[in-house]
Chain A
Amino acid sequence: MKTKNYMLIAAVSLAACPASGCREFLDAKPDQRLTVPSDLSDLQALLDNIPVYSGECVSAEIGSDDYYVTDADLASLTSDWHRRTYTWEPDNLFQTLSTDWNAFGTAVYYCNSVLEHLKRMERTASNRQLYDNIRGVALHTRGRKLFQASLIWTMAYDERTAPSLPGLPLRTGINFNEPSVRADLRETFDFLIGDLKASIPLLPDIPAHVVSPSKPAAYAMLARVFLYMGDYRQASLYADSCLSIKNGLLDYNDIDPRPTYPIPQYNGEVILSFLMNPGQILNLARGRVNPGIIDSYSEGDLRANLFFAANPDGSKGFRGRYSGGLTLFAGLATDEVYLIRAECNARLGNPRQALADLNHLLYFRYRKEDGQSTYVSADIDQADDVLEEVLGERRKQLIFRGLRWYDLKRLNRDGAGIELVRESGGRTYRLPPNDPRYALPLPEDVIALSGMVQNPR
């Protein structure tokens, strides 16, 4: 009889309590799903919580110049913040309790926690592989989140000014009561490069899934970072390392153009997937691609169709998303790495290698006839300016990936002098090169709560 048993248990337990007897009784887990992170699989489970790490802030894309929004569509936006970002207002670009800033902080906290717990676990011969992978993923992700955040909230990296410019708060511990302090920009980059470099030997060549970091992802990420910093030699080396492991390109001829979003997600070019939420402002109907860009695709270029969808009113939205759906892809893919290597080679005086990469990429972007691409390879003699060529293709291939803002920042730093101009509601808005507004303001409530310095306005 259950009743009797319980009575017996009760009598015995009462006699023993509150000594050690009831300790066992009280050690039962209140919720079976709950645990104290105690082994590697728990840490792996924290790192497998993909949405914590995969979302990137879309504000950089909103500020850039690949698209425009009509006055009527701008007025109809639910998000005041996106409206203000579109016209490059100096402040109040993020809501109170900003989800963008929170996502950044949360991802870093998760990585820090994993690293902290890992320190207390023993690396053995049998768990070595998993142990290293966990450490590699956490380091890589922290470095990547910091770099992507630096695109939004800090000025372009210039090694002359970096020590005097505000960078990001570099939190490494898990004590959340510790105040946040912004490091300078150089410290920020030293730190994130350190993380990314340290992750390389720990990560596998082929990840379980491209939502998780891998060796090629670490190389590609470092190539992206060094290109941004203007260190073309390093960027070229990392791009090279990446492509030596992962170098596949999609043949756009194989893609069925009929679905709304024709390019499959997690396709063969994707090295590491992370995403931006386009909001209303960058959806197919409202974020209209600049006609100048659409016109820049030559005859036979499949991207002209695969990348753009005509709206009922004749305008075009960007549909060539490597996410395969509503979200915008901001991740790493081989097409970008080819373009990084090409640009570095062009800048380092190796135009031939630069063109080789460009030709290889574009071969798969043009319509095929009789099994051969209609793409006419650029020749070193015809190409008057290889760098210009590469940058032009970069803009055509990497559109709506969050990389235009990245390019604007680094190219203007090097004197490109690109001024952005927008007409909206009868007013003209301008964003001159290297304007302080290229570093978006931190959310105002974060400044109030933490006492960190705001970006100069």
Chain B
Amino acid sequence: MTSKLIYLAVLFATAFTYPAQAQQPVPARIVDRETGSGVSGATIKYRGRTFTSDETGSFPLRFPDKEKSVDLLVSAMGYARVDTTLSPSVSSITIPLLPLAAMLDEVVVSTGYQQLPRERATGSFAFLSNERLNEQVGPDILGRLEAVANSVQVDRNSLLGSERIMVRGLSTIQGSTAPLIVLDNFPYEGDFANINPNDVESITILKDAAAASIWGAKAGNGVIIITTKKGLPRQPLRIEFNSNVTVGDRPDPFRLHRISSSDFIDVESMLYRAGYFTGQLNDRNKPALSPVVELLVQRETASPDEIRAIDAELARLRGVDVRKDFERHVYQRSVNQQYFLGLRGGSDLMGWNLSVGHDRNSDNLESGYDRFNARAQHTMKPLRNTTINSGIIFTQSRTSGGRPGYGQLTSMNGGLYPYAELADGEGNSLPIVRNIRRHYLDNEADSRLLDWKYYPLDDYRHLRNSSVTNSVLLNTALNHDLPIGLGLGINYQYERQQRSGRDLQGAESFAARDMVNRYTRIGPDGRPVYPVPPGGILDLSDNLTQSHNVRAQLNYAGDWGHHEVNAIMGGELRHVGAGGHGNRLYGYDDGILAYAHVDPTRQYPHHISGANLFIPTGLSVSRTTNRYVSTYANASYSFKRRYVFSLSGRRDASNLFGLSINDKWNPLWSTGMSWEISREHFYGSGWAPFLKMRLTYGHSGNVNPDMVALTTISYAPNPNQITQAPYASFSNFANPELTWETVGTFNAGIDFAIATGRLKGSLEFYSKDAGDLYGPAPMDYTAGVGYTITKNVAGMRARGMDAELEALHIDGIFKWRSHLNLSLNRERVTGYYLPDRRGSRFVGYTNQISGIVGNPVRSVFSYPWAGLDPDTGEALGYIGAETSKDYRELTGTAVLLDDLVFHGSTLPTAFGSLGNTFSYRNFRVTARISYKFGYYFRRETIRYSNLFGNLNGHGDFNQRWRKPGDEAATDIPAMIYPIPFQSESFYPFAEPFVERGDHIRLQYLDLRYGFTKAVLPSIPFNRMDLYVNVSNLGLLWKSTKAPIDPDFATATSTSMPTPIACAFGIRLDL
């Protein structure tokens, strides 16, 4: 774009050429390219001098002599910067400026501290335009990144938490992998779901060491900068309306590989015969038994007629699958509606932007999410040298609970028997067994108790869970130009988020009835006494988070001759305070707001078991304060606009507890250079008009919160219920052996445009060398500080490559564009400092750092597999060269890491996406695939302990070993009761259950048709787009033969892949 402007400028300039005398001022004028009117207040720099254009846009231009051309730099508020070379052979010059509002694809890198024209950037940035972000639809902006952003991936297979978004893989071992999210100028403390995607202008992702040296240690995992739409001066009124409806299919519980009801009934019958349930039958606590076990109990003493009826019922239950009831009665289509109206405009001295948005979502389980956004933003220039920006964003969102889904609805021990029936033939809700034995409730329980049954299809109607979040974000920025190229900027942002939770378990809900019954006892007069009064249970909570951010920054821009210096330095203060409280009311009646008191200081015997119980109070109070102080400086020097050298440094301090002041300050620095080869005289390549090289290196140190100089204790949120005294636990242990974690990051990149811009992109190589990384080290827990403690456990090196390519294959009425993201990332352990190499530590589901130098940081290991015992169907492993089924030994302390089988990385080593856009006249189709290669995951299989104890059976059950000979065809061990000692510490972690994760996914399909006034003059808009967007289309290819989507392979979960969704929308530009 810049080169285009230069070209235009030169064109205009040369159009008015006639001989002129040297040293004479040449009339020159700066104009708006769109309107042709003069631009006042523009800054013109040449030969180390600075001029300002007058009201008509004119300024004096003098050439030193008639031979020498001059380099000219023109900048003006609201316009793209122009960098041009003028020859003295002109008599009059007009320099057109392109209004920023019209320059949608001009890349200006926003670091959050400064706007950097791309040619001055030395670091690694990925940029996502508004257009690319809008190829997807959805209420949440971050959810759109994975599909389109370079080097961004989301790890869903970790048990460490929910989905984890990562930029360029891992930087540290412990702690968050989450990148820092910045909204305009400051880190965003609120809920990211509050950000309306329609307000987003673009997203910049900072990937290398420059990120950390700009944003501090929190930016070690990269920075995602969200830039919102701004009103700019000299912008014509623009009205934008966008609305869409997304309908998502019902999830399919049959895609989960689960045991069949018939198999499950066989298992229960086997267990019953083996006496597994006698302990429970004998138990005075009346633990729940499944309907089949109850039938088997009845069958013992039944008459022949009754036996026939029982057998018929058992046979019927074999054909029942609760997943059908989930499909029919629980899961709904999800419906998301989105409405957005935005207005922008600007006069000479000010610009403004107003928008309102409303989202209304109802998911597959009818839980709701409503959001209302209103935003106002204003820019003005009250004085020639002063700009004031101010903005306010108000968001109100409300979430409400829905029905329990498959895996959430439980009967006993956290599981649900697969033949559960939620409704009868007419769709009436049926009770299912829950926690307490049905036989007891039907025959023995005191009739004065409340109904103690659970009706899952009705229950959610009595639960009113909602949370309302009100958030206000205010910001203001003042920029004042000082003499000699200096500028002063002061930014302030205030953020306030208030979240109120209201969780009502109505009197009719199972939870409330259960709570009342548990404590009920029958008094001596035969009347029930209710320590927990009958009625609803209302939990209320209020949390308030407020943050203040202040930044003061001095800018300098100066140039003389071929030299140009840009520098900033500043400091910031940040205070985030959060506090909250919660309480609970019993015996609550929402109709009249009545409630009753309970005595939480007394113990009452459980109605059935007689165990002493306190009544939970639901009281809580919390207060946290986080404070940060930072100072930073950043300078770049460029020579002839070809060579850029940059240096950046920062120091952060926080109120991390118990740190000595020296450790509180965390220094970070980075340095970089770039060379725009295509500006060199020797560079005459016509086919590659743009070529630039960049290099950065940065160093950061990271101090772990555990690295405190003092041992700290934490008071418990509630008093000890027996003594009513406050009590405390150790929260951190002083560990003088810890040292700082250090990371050095090197990045080299080239940006290019070839074939006259038909193919452009960037290619980057990076390496991260980290030493003394923090990680959990196993501890001799005799010492009394727990099983693990944070230590400096390892060093690692990550080498990677990011490529981003944009190609215009066919141009004309029919256009074909492609956008490719490819990231390669290889992490290697370079040093491992822990002596403990027991193999059992490295096979779990939690990703332990690999203890082998040269291996990926997160590696998948497994126990060597010797197949199944041909006689018994038990799993076999190796001890030395011998096969063994002594599982304790196979998983014991003598089996070391080196005895395990190494598979590969748990994180994809190659990933990215490919989008293709085809357009014909006003019709445009975009399809995007994403891919992940070179990684492994451990899949779930049948675990008999879960099957017997938690009613949770994996579908591998029907492939299990049953008779000699089966071992040739299957790796699933036989069902043996009781379960062989420690076998489940062995076989689920053995070779056969590791799968390759490689797959290709069709991410989305976007179809749009745009009408413009030019095409269809009758429409009352400038432009109207109609679009259809289909997402979650599923896998195109996967490596594993197991019926698993590798992105949804969490080892123990019952989560189903997100079902296909289709959006229909309209976007209007007035």
Contacts and interface: CB of A to CB of B under 8 A. Distances in A.
B553 to A, nearest CB: 10
8 closest Cβ contacts across the A-B interface? Answer: A72-B275, A109-B784, A260-B610, A10-B550, A176-B783, A285-B282, A45-B728, A448-B893
B840 A96 contact: yes
Given A14-B570, A92-B981, 19 more contacts: A3-B492, A9-B550, A22-B573, A26-B654, A33-B622, A35-B715, A42-B728, A45-B728, A50-B727, A72-B278, A73-B275, A75-B276, A75-B978, A78-B945, A104-B782, A106-B784, A108-B784, A109-B784, A313-B282
Nearest to A283: B283
B655 A49 contact: no
Given A27-B655, A42-B728, A92-B888, A97 B781 contact: yes
A50 B720 CA distance: 8
Contact of A76 (B279, B548, B570, B714): B279
A26 B552 contact: no
Contacts of A261: 605, 610-612
A421 interface: no
Interface stretch (A194-202, A224-232, A439-447): A439-447
B192 interface: no
B729 A48 contact: no
Contact of B779 (A2, A42, A84, A176): A176
Given A18-B629, A26-B664, A284 B283 contact: yes
Contact of A73 (B279, B624, B730): B279
B625 interface: yes
A110 B730 contact: yes
B606 to A, nearest CB: 9
A445 B784 contact: no
- Main secondary structure, interface of B, reads mixed
A51 to B, nearest CB: 9
Nearest to B723: A209
Contacts of A78: 945, 949
Contacts of B656: 30
Contacts of B723: 48, 50, 208-209, 211-212
Sort chain B's interface into a size bin. 35 or more
B925 interface: no
Interface in A205-235: 208-209, 211-212
Interface of A: 2-3, 6-7, 9-11, 13-14, 17-18, 22-23, 25-37, 42, 44-46, 48-50, 52, 70-73, 75-78, 80, 83-84, 92, 96-98, 101-102, 104-110, 112-113, 169, 171, 174, 176-180, 208-209, 211-212, 259-261, 265, 280, 283-286, 309, 311-313, 315, 324-326, 444-450, 452
A71 B626 CA distance: 58
Given A34-B714, A107-B784, A75 B612 contact: no
Contact of B658 (A23, A36, A286): A36
Interface string B278-296: 1111111000000000000
Interface in B630-676: 631, 651, 653-658, 661, 664-665
Nearest to A443: B781
Contacts of A9: 550, 573
Contacts of A326: 609, 611
Contacts of A28: 625, 627, 655
Interface in B685-739: 710-717, 720, 722-723, 725-731, 733, 735, 737
Given A17-B631, A23-B661, A105-B784, A34 B282 contact: no
A449 B713 contact: no
Contact of A75 (B274, B627, B780): B274
Given A3-B476, A80-B981, A105-B781, A260 B609 contact: yes
A6 B981 contact: no
B430 to A, nearest CB: 28
B154 interface: no
Nearest to B576: A30
Nearest to A72: B275
Contacts of B7: none
Contacts of A309: 284
A425 to B, nearest CB: 9
A105 B781 CA distance: 6
Contacts of A98: 781
Contacts of A34: 657, 712-715, 731
A96 B840 CA distance: 10
Interface stretch (B138-146, B195-203, B592-600, B785-793): B785-793
B888 A180 contact: no
Contact of A286 (B279, B570, B888): B279
B497 to A, nearest CB: 16
A452 B782 CA distance: 10
B979 to A, nearest CB: 8
7 contacts: A17-B571, A17-B631, A18-B651, A26-B627, A45-B726, A311-B282, A311-B283
A105 B782 contact: yes
A96 to B, nearest CB: 7
Contact of A102 (B629, B658, B733, B781): B781
A50 B722 contact: yes
B982 interface: yes
Contacts of B548: 6
**Residue in A49, A212, A444 with the greatest tally of chain B CB atoms within 10 Å:** A49
A259 B727 CA distance: 32
Interface string B615-630: 0000000111111010
Contacts of A92: 888, 981-982
Contacts of A102: 781, 784, 786-787
Given A208-B723, A285-B279, A36 B714 contact: no
A402 B173 CA distance: 44
A280 to B, nearest CB: 7
Given A31-B714, A176-B783, A259-B610, A285 B550 contact: no
B559 to A, nearest CB: 28
B492 A7 contact: yes
Contacts of A49: 716, 720, 727-729
A176 B653 contact: no
Contact of A26 (B276, B631, B655): B655
Nearest to A8: B550
Contacts of A285: 279-280, 282-284
Nearest to A168: B782
B156 to A, nearest CB: 27
B490 interface: yes
Contacts of B710: 36
B977 interface: yes
B838 interface: yes
A323 to B, nearest CB: 8
B275 A33 contact: no
A449 B784 contact: no
A7 to B, nearest CB: 6
A446 B779 CA distance: 9
Contacts of B552: 10-11, 14
A287 to B, nearest CB: 10
B290 to A, nearest CB: 15
B664 to A, nearest CB: 6
Contacts of B474: 3
Contacts of A22: 573, 629, 653
A10 B490 CA distance: 10
Contacts of A36: 657-658, 710-713
A180 B653 contact: no
A249 B715 CA distance: 37
Given A26-B664, A75-B977, A445-B893, A171 B783 contact: yes
A99 to B, nearest CB: 10
B785 A176 contact: yes
Given A25-B573, A450-B782, A48 B605 contact: no
A434 B833 CA distance: 43
Interface string B441-467: 000000000000000000000000000
A71 B784 CA distance: 37
A79 to B, nearest CB: 11
